[in-house]
Amino acid sequence: MTKPIWPKAPPGFVRAMLASHSALGLFIAALCYLVCVTGTLAVFAAELDQWERPASAVDAAVSGPALDRGVVNALVTATGKVDSILVSLPTADSPATSLTVTDAAGERRYRIGQDGALIPAKAAVFTRFLREFHANLHAGRMGYVIVGLAGVAMVSLTLSGLLAHPRIFRDAFTLRWGGSRRLQEADLHNRLSVWGLPFNLIISVTGAYFGFAGILAMVITGLQPGGDSAGAIRATRFPPPKADPRPAPVPSFAAAAAFIRTDAAVADQAFTLALRAPGTRGQSLTAYAHVERRALYGELYQFPPGAPAQRMGYADGPFGLQLYAATYPLHFGSYGGLLLKSLYAILGFGLSVVCASGVSIWLVRRRDGGRPAPRIERAWTGMVWGALVGLGLSSFAGLNPALSPGWLFWGGLLASLTLAAITARPSLWLKGGLAAILLAIAVGYWRPELTPAARTIEALLVLGAAWAAYLFLRQARPREAP
């Protein structure tokens, strides 16, 4: 008989940690679940963009002169003062060359044609809604803080969950399905949590970063006025040049992209170029370039007028600067191609299941203990399935500009919660509804010109519809009498 290698935790300590885990989990589970589900889908934001706007993905790279003509065309056709022109060059994720101009009339997006002509581009309504919902719940600055709080809570839940589980390694592969629902839910929750631990921690910590980096900078400034630490957080980008409205020639975007291709330090493809205050002496051209084999958003370049190009040093600067540039790709899994995105999506789905099953365990425990909470059970079912129904409905906004994705999402979620409150078997109808919605989306978005990435999204939608239909039919099947 071998002794377990994990030290035995006192039962009182385990109980206290589990109480802490339950209290925090119940308080914040719905928020964490919404953030995790939208984050899992947002991993494929670039592919969803192609799926939603197939026409925007058909143009390949344009020539350098065409690119510069496109920029000039944007300036000529702009309304009033132009704040910025942003050009996105083709990448593996996004095959189009697009231009976004922000002027007195607002923000407009175009594709750049082979002759430099600007072709108005359809907005990716659903993809934008999804990304912004995941980032800040469409609640402005406060939304980032709320999502950041979910990140902190998930770190706390991970720590208390680990400490509350003394058999963590002994049960590392146990998954019992059927029989006791409590054991089933607990096994699912614990296995997904334990094996997904590195992913769950990275996602939570980087998620909290987006909400609290600015606030921590303010705290540091308050505690040490004039210190260099808070300034360092703000100095992760080039400072904006001094405004000077006197006219000046517009710099060549093509020349900047060509310079990056030959720069020995990075020598890779620029993917985004941005010109602030274009056509003035205070203009500033910056560019992000892809860095091969690195988990970085990119390397940042600046091309000051009449001076040599500067490089920020994300690829080879101090560790902190590299970590800054790695935060976004670490959170969204955008640094390892479709393979890593797929792995992130599976692990993100697992984390969403962890959030959902945590509350289910608490509800089953109550039921087993003779204190069932049927209203909360139904509400939680409505929440878990209703979020998926709401997200499915919100994607219809991409088919009809008159529809608002936000209204569709919240309307779908509210309808699901209402259905859960008034029907005896809410999950049955929500699963059936989800299957129908996913199939309708796949049919509605189908176009012959879809890119391979967009066709993969279509296939996943059909698979999702089949999965939801299977769950619906299995639950609808009449059960044998005991």
Partner 1 sequence: MEPTLWIAAALIGAGGVLALRQAWRKGSSGPRGVLILGGWTALAIAIALAARAGGFDVGAGIGVCAMMVFAYGVITAGVQIRSAKRRSPKPAADPLDASAGPRRPWRVAGRTLIAAVLAAVAGFTTAAAIAICLPAVPITRAMTAIYLLPILWGAAVAWALADDRLLRPTLALTLVSLASWGAIALKSLP
Kindly state the tokens that stand for 366.
């109550």
Nearest CB to partner 1, comparing residues 136 and 190: 190
Among 333, 382, 386, 405, binds partner 1 (CB under 8 A): 333
CA torsion angle 329 254 60 268 (round to 10) = -40
CA torsion angle 144 150 155 158 (round to 10) = -160
Nearest CB to partner 1, comparing residues 22 and 56: 22
Task: Return d(Cα 468, Cα 4) in angstroms, integer.
Answer: 41
Count CB neighbours of 434 within 10 A: 26
Nearest CB to partner 1, comparing residues 100 and 236: 236
Residue with tokens 């093509």: 254
Nearest CB to partner 1, comparing residues 230 and 393: 230
Nearest CB to partner 1, comparing residues 326 and 415: 326
The answer to whether the CB of 312 falls within 8 A of the CB of 298 is no
Task: Return d(Cα 140, Cα 131) in angstroms, integer.
Answer: 13
CB of 350 to partner 1, least distance (A): 7
Q: How many CA atoms lie within 13 A of 63 on its CB side?
A: 7
Which backbone phi and psi does 400 adopt, to 5 degrees?
-135, 110
Task: Return d(Cα 20, Cα 307) in angstroms, integer.
Answer: 58
Nearest CB to partner 1, comparing residues 16 and 415: 16
Taking CB under 8 A as the criterion, which residues in 169-198 touch partner 1?
170-180, 191-192, 195-196, 198
The CA R_g of the chain, rounded to the nearest whole Å, is 25
Q: Of the ranges 30-38, 134-142, 158-166, 413-421, which one interacts with partner 1 (CB under 8 A)?
A: 158-166
Among 50, 73, 97, 160, binds partner 1 (CB under 8 A): 160
Q: Is the dihedral of CA 203, 206, 212, 216 positive or negative?
A: positive
Taking CB under 8 A as the criterion, which residues in 273-312 touch partner 1?
292-296
* 326 touching partner 1, by CB under 8 A: yes
Contacts of 309 (CB under 8 A, 6+ apart): 256, 259, 263, 301, 302, 303
CB of 85 to partner 1, least distance (A): 29
Q: Of the ranges 163-171, 261-269, 390-398, 411-419, which one interacts with partner 1 (CB under 8 A)?
A: 163-171
Q: Are strands 82-88 and 98-103 parallel, antiparallel or unpaired?
A: antiparallel
Task: Return d(Cα 305, Cα 317) in angstroms, integer.
Answer: 24
Nearest CB to partner 1, comparing residues 254 and 321: 321
CB of 144 to partner 1, least distance (A): 14
Picking from 57, 60, 55, 67, the residue whose alpha carbon sits closest to that of residue 115 is 67
* 153 touching partner 1, by CB under 8 A: yes
CB of 441 to partner 1, least distance (A): 26
Taking CB under 8 A as the criterion, which residues in 95-114 touch partner 1?
none
CB of 351 to partner 1, least distance (A): 11
Among 140, 249, 308, 482, binds partner 1 (CB under 8 A): 482
CB of 326 to partner 1, least distance (A): 7
Count CB neighbours of 45 within 10 A: 19
Among 155, 265, 436, 460, binds partner 1 (CB under 8 A): 155
* 376 touching partner 1, by CB under 8 A: no
Nearest CB to partner 1, comparing residues 308 and 369: 369
Taking CB under 8 A as the criterion, which residues in 212-231 touch partner 1?
212-213, 215-217, 219-220, 223-224, 227-231
Taking CB under 8 A as the criterion, which residues in 24-83 touch partner 1?
24
Which backbone phi and psi does 118 adopt, to 5 degrees?
-95, 125
DSSP 40-104: HHHTTHHHHHHHH-GGGGS-----HHHHHHHHHHHHHH--SSEEEEEEE---SS--S-EEEEEET
Q: Of the ranges 20-28, 73-81, 412-420, 423-431, which one interacts with partner 1 (CB under 8 A)?
A: 20-28
Kindly state the tokens that stand for 417.
């919660």
Per DSSP, 116 falls in state S
Count CB neighbours of 374 within 10 A: 10
With CB under 8 A, what is the number of residues at the site for partner 1?
A: 99
Among 151, 278, 279, 412, binds partner 1 (CB under 8 A): 151
Among 8, 19, 79, 267, binds partner 1 (CB under 8 A): 19
Among 123, 152, 399, 462, binds partner 1 (CB under 8 A): 152
Taking CB under 8 A as the criterion, which residues in 335-364 touch partner 1?
335-336, 339-340, 343-344, 346-347, 350, 362
